[in-house]
Structure formats: C-alpha cells, structure tokens
Amino acid sequence: MLGIIIPTMNRSEFVIRQLKYYASVNCPFTIYIGDSSNETHVKKVLFGIEKLKKSIKVVYKQFPELNGPNTLKELIRITKEKYVAFVGDDDFLVPNSLKKCATFLDANPEYSSAQGKAIIFSLSLSGAYGNTVSVGTYHLKINEYETPTERLLHFLSGYWVPLFSVHRTRDFFQDHINVELLNDIPFTEIMANCMTIIRGKSKQLDCLYLVRQGHDARLKVPNSINWVTGPNWQPSYQVFHDTLRDALMEKEEIDQDTASKIVRATFEKYLSNAFIGKQPKREHSLLVSSKELIKQSPGLKQAYHQARSAIPIFRNEMSLQRLLKPKSPYHEDFVPVYNSITMPHLSG
C-alpha cells in the first residue's frame, strides 16, 4: 500500500532509532533507505537492519555518489507501493496516520497529497536520545483552492513543506522532474513542493502524523541574502521557473507568457516573505490591548472571554504536557515516539 522513504548520510544513530520505532509499533509498510554514508555508518545501519528484519520490511540501497535530493528521487523510482511518504532520518512518521492519508487519497483523486498534524521537539542532549523533551507545533497546512494558480499563490504566500505528505508514488516521482538539473539545494525542495501543489489539492486530517527533531546536527539552509547571491541561484531559478511554467501550461491550458508571469509573481511573494519575515501572530496581544474597550461594551464581554480562552487551547494542543495525557486524541500515537526518544531500551 505505502512505502516510507528515508535518504541518509552519516547519521546511523538516527536511522536506527527510527527503525526501532517502526518495529515497536508493528509498522506494516515497506521502509526504503537510501544511504550515502561512509563505511562506518553503513556497517552500523546494516547491523541494525539485520537485528530488526523479523519485525519490519526494509529495502536498503547505497547511493554514495548522490546528494539527498537525488537519493530521494531514486528511492521514489524504486518504490513499488501505490503511495509513498518521505521522512528525514531524524524524524518520525506515524503509521496509523499514513494509512488514513492513503485511504483519503484513494477516495479523492483531485487531491495530490494528504497529511495530518505535526510537532517538532528538542532534547536537552545532543544526538538521538535524551531525558528532557520540549515540544512545539510544526506547521503542515491545507490547500484546497480549485485552480493550480490559486493554489500556488496561496502556497508561496505562506510556505510549508508538503514533501512530508503522503503522495501517489507515480505523481511524486513526476513532482521531482528536473531535480537533477538543480545545483542549488533549497530549490530542490521548493520546486518539488510547488509541483505537488500545482498537481492537486492538499488535505490535512486531524491526526498526529509527523514528529520532527530540532538539533545541532540538523541540515541547515543558507539565509536569504546568501542564498540569492550564491553562484548556483540564477541557473537553478531558471530551471525552477521553466519547470513550473510548463506544469501550469499543462494543468490550466494557458499560454507560455501567462504561465511565466504567474510563476514570477508567486515566487516574488515567497521571496518577499523570506526577506522581511512574517509578522508574528498578535491575537493574544490584541485581545489584551482591547480589554478596557471591551469592558465598556457588555455585549462583547462574553465573546472576549471565549476568544481569550480559545487562544491558549489552540497553542497548547500539541504541548508535551497535553500529549502525555491519555485524554489527548494524539496521545496513543505520540507515546511510542516519546518512548523511542527518551527510553530507547524499550524499543530494543
């Protein structure tokens, strides 16, 4: 039904942690690992796979000559299942939620991707394991606009990463068209994500889907000014522009000039956000600053208190404290991940 694809390079500790997690939850899906590591890490990963081979199905391939994006594309190429989901070697996908997303896509052909909710955590220690965990929301979104142009504009106005979503395998491979022509790594992610959004709608289901880790060994992208002034930016942008332009022409049946203008305009919005940053959410501060005014309007008092109380509930929905409570709708799926991070002995 579904394949999980994990490109990795020299982070065997994280790969093994993730595999142990999938074994602990009886993951029914095939796990594809594309390894560009040195010999030391290769040996560790292979040893870990051997120990877990009775519990999970793993397809392991070495790609020593490829970078992460091209390894990802090769893993999609060899995936035999109808659906596929990418995950970083230091992150976790929830199998129960993967199945829900694949089932949704089965019933809704106008959608190209589906995902649930996500969190990001950090540990008090460097590496894959630690005793203290802090948790925050990692934003995966929804995009259900009818036309590719509307979806692309909305997407690049508030960027997120549908790369992590469940996709139809054949479509996800096509979404990575021309990725091998890109020498600028950030464009490999942005272009594939835009292609997914152009292809179809994106749905978010109410389930815990992805758990990401923030840590000092995480791969980082350059800041905005270093990115656009780098030697690889302009040729990679041209590939990005031409690829999206052609996709829009096909999907919307518009001429080349119109499609080109759409790509430039929507990407300009993305760059604007990248350089000036998004304005912080001010819901709570606005409510507080309006307190005296609202007190003078009894009819608004009840609405004020309802809005004020709703804000911390929303913000704390994915807090560690709430996730660890059995009453949380995400508790059952979160605890195995939490145990894999804080109590690795429980997963082997």
Is 292 in the same domain as 343? no
Q: How far, in whole angstroms, is CA 238 from its chain's centroid?
A: 25
Whether residue 63 lies inside any domain: the answer is yes
Is 287 in the same domain as 217? no
Q: Which residues pair with 203 in a beta bridge?
A: 114
Q: What per-residue confidence (pLDDT) applies to 278?
A: 52
Q: How far, in whole angstroms, is CA 269 from its chain's centroid?
A: 21
Q: How far, in whole angstroms, is CA 91 from its chain's centroid?
A: 10
Nearest-CA neighbor of 154 among 142, 165, 164? 142
Whether residue 245 lies inside any domain: the answer is no
Whether residue 232 lies inside any domain: the answer is no
Is 182 in the same domain as 299? no
- Give SS3 for 159: coil
Whether residue 166 lies inside any domain: the answer is yes
Is 126 in the same domain as 154? yes
Task: Return per-residue pLDDT of the chain as tens, 348 residues.
Answer: 999 999 999 999 999 999 999 999 999 999 999 999 999 999 999 999 999 999 999 999 999 999 999 999 999 999 999 999 999 999 999 999 999 999 999 999 999 999 999 999 999 888 899 887 889 999 999 999 999 999 999 999 999 999 999 999 999 999 999 999 999 999 999 999 999 999 999 999 999 999 999 865 555 556 778 888 899 999 999 999 999 999 999 999 999 999 999 999 999 999 988 887 653 333 333 333 333 433 444 444 454 444 444 434 345 688 999 999 999 999 999 999 999 999 876 555
Whether residue 276 lies inside any domain: the answer is no
In which element (H, E) is residue 93 found? Answer: strand 92-93
Is 19 in the same domain as 142? yes
Q: How far, in whole angstroms, is CA 219 from its chain's centroid?
A: 14
Is 168 in the same domain as 289? no
Is 291 in the same domain as 341? no
Whether residue 168 lies inside any domain: the answer is yes
Whether residue 264 lies inside any domain: the answer is no
Which pTM was predicted? 0.86
On whether the CB atoms of residues 167 and 200 are closer than 8 A, the answer is no
Q: What per-residue confidence (pLDDT) applies to 223?
A: 72
Is 25 in the same domain as 112? yes
Is 207 in the same domain as 288? no
Tokens of 236: 């990679």
On whether the CB atoms of residues 105 and 1 are closer than 8 A, the answer is no
Q: What per-residue confidence (pLDDT) applies to 307?
A: 44
Is 162 in the same domain as 28? yes
Is 92 in the same domain as 172? yes
Q: What per-residue confidence (pLDDT) applies to 277?
A: 64
- Whole domain around residue 59: which residue ranges? 2-223+329-347
State the total domains in the chain.
Answer: 2
Whether residue 31 lies inside any domain: the answer is yes
Is 302 in the same domain as 158? no
Rounded CA separation 21/332 (Å): 14
For residue 98, give the CATH number of its domain: 3.90.550.10
On whether the CB atoms of residues 83 and 169 are closer than 8 A, the answer is yes
- CA angle 255–257–263, rounded 5-degree value: 105
